[in-house]
Structure 1
Amino acid sequence: MNTLVLPASLALVTLALAACDPAELPDGAPAGACPAPRGPTVHSGDRIADDETWTAEGSPHIVESFVEITEAARLTVEPCAEVQFAENAGIGVAYIGEGQEGALIAEGTEERPIRLAGKDGARWVGVLVQAPGTATLRHVTIEGASGDSPDGEASLVIHGDMTMPVKKPVLVDHVTIKDSISHGVEVNRMAGFADGSTELVVTGSGLEQPAYPLVVSEHALDSIPTGQYTGNARDEIRVIDEGAGRAASGIQTDATVRDRGVPYIIGSSEGATLIVGGTLDGSVAKLTIEPGVVLRFVRGASLSVELFSTEDPATGVLHAVGTPDKPIVFTSAEESPAAGDWMGIWFGSVFQPENRIEHARIEYAGSETHSILLTCNEPGIHEGGVILTTPPPSQFIQHTTFAHITGHGVHRGWRGPSAPDFADTNTFEDLTGCAVSTPPDEDLYCPEPPPTCP
Structure 2
Amino acid sequence: MVTSMSLSRIACAGTALVLALLSLSMPNGASAAVMTTDTVWEGNITVEDDVLIPAGVTLTVRPGTSILVVAAESTKTDPEYLSPLNEITVRGTLVVEGTGKLPVRFFGAEKKVGSWAGILIDGGTANIRGCSIENADTGVSVADGTLRLSGSALRENRYGLVAQGKNTRADLAGSRITGNDYGIFTFGGALVATGDSEVAKNRKRDTYSPVSREFVPPAKPPVAEGAPVGRRYRDMVLLGETVWQGRIEVDGTVRVPEGSRLVILPGTIVEFTRRDTNGDGIGENGIMIQGRLVAKGSAERPIIFRSAEKARRAGDWDSVNIMNSASGQNLIEHCRIENAYRGLHFHFSTVAIHNSTLMDNYRGIQFQESVVVMRGNTLCGNRSGVQGRDSEVDLADNLICNNQVGGNFLRTTLVARGNRVIANGREGLRLREGAVTVRENLVDGNRFGLMMADIYHGVVSRNSITNNTEGGISLKNVDAIEIAGNVVAANGLNGFNVQDSGALIKSNMISDNGERGMGIQSFAGVITGNDFAGNGLYAIDMDGPEDVSAPANWWGGDDPGRVIFDRRDDPALGTVRQDGANAAPLPFVWPLASVATDAVWRGIITVDAAMAVVPGAVLTVAPGTTVRFAAGTGLEVKGKLIAKGESDRKITFTSTELKEPSAWNEILLEYATGSAIAHCSIEYATWGIHSHFTDLSVTDSVFAHNYGGMRFRSGPVRISRSTFRDNTIGIRSYIGNARIEDNIITENETGIFVREKGGGLTVTGNNIFGNSGYNLRIGDFNTEDVNARGNWWGEGDPGETIFDARQEPGIGLALYEPYLEKPLPLGAGTGEKP
**TM-score normalised to structure 1 length:** 0.52
Contact conserved, 1:357 with 1:400, CA < 8 A, in 2?
no
Deviations 1:245-280 (A, max 9, x none): xxxx4379x862735633255546xx5346249xxx
Query: Does the alignment pair 1:241 with 2:407?
Result: no
Question: Which residue of 318, 321, 339 maps to 1:106?
Answer: 321
The one-letter amino acid of 1:357's match is: F
Match of 2:429 in 1: 221
Q: Which residue in 1 is equivalent to 2:531?
A: 365
Q: Residues 337 and 357 of structure 2 are in contact (CA less than 8 Å); yes or no, is this contact kept in structure 1? A: no
**Counterpart Cα distance in 1 of 2:489 and 2:555:** 14
Gaps of 5+ in 1: 6-22, 24-34, 118-123, 204-210, 230-234, 244-248, 278-284, 308-315, 333-340, 374-383, 434-454
CA distance in 2, matches of 1:260, 1:66: 43
1:107 counterpart letter in structure 2: I
TM-fit CA distance, 1:171: 4.3
C-alpha displacement of 1:106: 2.8
- 2:397 is matched with 183
Distance (whole Å) between structure 2 residues aligned to residue 214 and residue 66 of structure 1 = 29
> Are 1:79 and 2:287 matched, yes or no?
no
Deviations 1:303-331 (A, max 9, x none): 56569xxxxxxxx9631621xxxx33154
Given candidates 321, 325, 330, the residue that maps to 1:115 is 330
Match of 2:481 in 1: 293
Q: Does 1:52 align with 2:233?
A: no
* Distance change >3 Å, CA 294–CA 132, structure 1 → 2: farther
Conserved? CA contact 2:292–2:328, under 8 Å: yes
Give the structure 1 partner of residue 453 of structure 2: 256
Partner amino acid for 2:579? T
Using the TM superposition, give the Cα deviation of residue 423 of structure 1 relative to its aligned residue in structure 2, in angstroms. Answer: 6.0
1:350-378 residue CA offsets vs partner (Å, 9 max, x unmatched): x99x8223313243323334x5x6xxxxx
1:48-447 to structure 2, matched below 5 A, reads 48=250, 50-56=252-258, 58-65=260-267, 67=269, 71=274, 72-88=283-299, 89-90=302-303, 92=305, 98-109=313-324, 112=327, 115-117=330-332, 124-126=333-335, 128=337, 132-133=341-342, 135-143=344-352, 145-147=354-356, 154-155=375-376, 157-159=378-380, 161=382, 167=384, 170-171=387-388, 174=391, 183=397, 186=400, 189-192=403-406, 198-199=411-412, 212=418, 215=421, 219-223=427-431, 226=434, 236=439, 238=441, 240-243=443-446, 249-250=447-448, 256=453, 258=455, 261-263=458-460, 265-267=462-464, 272-273=467-468, 275-276=470-471, 287-288=475-476, 290-295=478-483, 301-302=489-490, 305=493, 318-319=498-499, 321-322=501-502, 327-329=503-505, 331-332=507-508, 341-343=509-511, 347=515, 355-369=521-535, 371=536, 385-386=539-540, 388=541, 396-408=546-558, 409=560, 411-412=562-563, 418-420=569-571, 425-432=577-584
Q: Which residue of 2 aligns with 1:15?
A: none
Question: For the residues of structure 2 that align with 1:107 and 1:296, how far apart are their CA atoms?
Answer: 38
Q: Residues 300 and 144 (structure 1 numbering): CA distance in 2 closer, same or farther, change over 3 Å?
A: closer
- CA drift of 1:288 comes to 1.4
Question: Which letter does structure 1 place at the counterpart of 2:445?
Answer: E
Change (3 A) 1:92 1:183: farther
Q: Which residues of structure 2 form unaligned runs of 5+?
A: 1-228, 275-282, 365-373, 586-834
> What's the CA shift for 1:219?
0.9
Distance 1:141 1:185 in 2: 22
The percent of aligned pairs where both chains have the same amino acid is 8
Q: Is the 8 A contact 1:272 1:301 kept in 2?
A: yes
Q: Answer yes or no: is the 8 Å Cα contact 2:314–2:338 preserved in 1.
A: no
Residues 159/133 of structure 1: CA separation in 2 closer, same or farther (3 Å cut)? farther
Paired with 2:526 and 2:411, the residues of 1 have a C-alpha distance of 28
Pair 103,237 (structure 1): closer, same or farther in 2 beyond 3 Å: farther
Residues 192/295 of structure 1: CA separation in 2 closer, same or farther (3 Å cut)? same
What secondary structure, in the 3-state scheme, does the structure 1 residue paired with 2:429 have? helix
Distance 1:287 1:136 in 2: 29
Query: Quick one: structure 1 residues 62 and 410, their matched pair in 2 at CA, closer, same or farther if it must change by over 3 Å?
Result: farther
Max radius of gyration: which structure? Answer: 2
Aligned length, in residue pairs: 324
Greater per-residue strand proportion: 2
